[in-house]
Structure 1
Amino acid sequence: MKSEIIAFVFGPVRRCGRTHQTFRHLLSLLEQTKIKVIRWITDSWWAYFDCLDQRLRLVRKASLQRLERKHLTFRTRLKRLTSRTICFSKSVAVHDTTIGLFINQFFFADKRS
């Protein structure tokens, strides 16, 4: 089974890292594009429990390992997300744009050809 990014959102940085509002924004994007998710493979984050139909949700660490591998590749290739590099920016807009461009190039470039 191949995993791929079909949508992404940026949310405010909190101590816990993620918010219900950010996840609901992602759900609305999926709804607007008429993408129907038939199975959610998630971790134990409370917003998944609150916002998703639990019959469609699986909590499986083994299934998430492939996704976590993509996250590691993402963080490794985007050095500007590390504050100890000379290309680090404090601008949220610069981070959002850079991340969006990277996702577009890394995950969708071969589909445009």
Structure 2
Amino acid sequence: MALIPVRCPLCGGEKVKKRGKTDDGKQRYLCQNENCEAKSFLLDYTYNGRKSDIKHKIIEMSLSGSGIRDIARVLEISTDTVISELKKKETLLDSVNSELLKTLEHTENIEVDILKVEEAEADEMWSFVGKKENQRWLWHAVDHKTGKVLAYTFGTHEDKVFLELKRLLEPFGIVKFYTDNWGCL
């Protein structure tokens, strides 16, 4: 018989003790590390939305332009889980692709030719909160050549939200915008 140490999924610590069982008989564990935020955890969750790799994919897919219902369908989780996870990560997300911007700012120290982004493909997609009258729009700009998301903003379907997106793109030196012919500015 081989014993496998149980590690906390948040801190990775091995100071873990059993903490009863769930209704369906799965073993629940408690991390003993004082600095760890994990109250209780399972090794194998039944619901996909509780798995840490799925939570990471929610953020990745939303930044790649997938809608809430699309993410929920692909990852086989509820739309409420998608929205909840996006709300939790909102403060950690940056509206501008900072890593790409840093590489563009330090081009004088690099001898390799780095092409600056000159054109952005702007688009918007919508969903609603609670009822269809309460619409929320995700506006995003993508580098047409690489497909990388440069910046995004949330808001209504009005010119002022597009102007906010334009402001976020100023550090990139974007001079051309391509839209799907919506009459915005």
Same structural fold, with TM-score higher than 0.5 when normalized by the shorter chain: no
Bigger RCO of structures 1 and 2 (CA < 8 A, at least 6 apart): 1
TM-score normalised per structure 2:
0.21
**Structure with higher strand content:** 2
**Structure with higher helix content:** 1
Computing the radius of gyration over CA atoms, which structure comes out larger, 1 or 2? 2
TM-score normalised per structure 1:
0.32
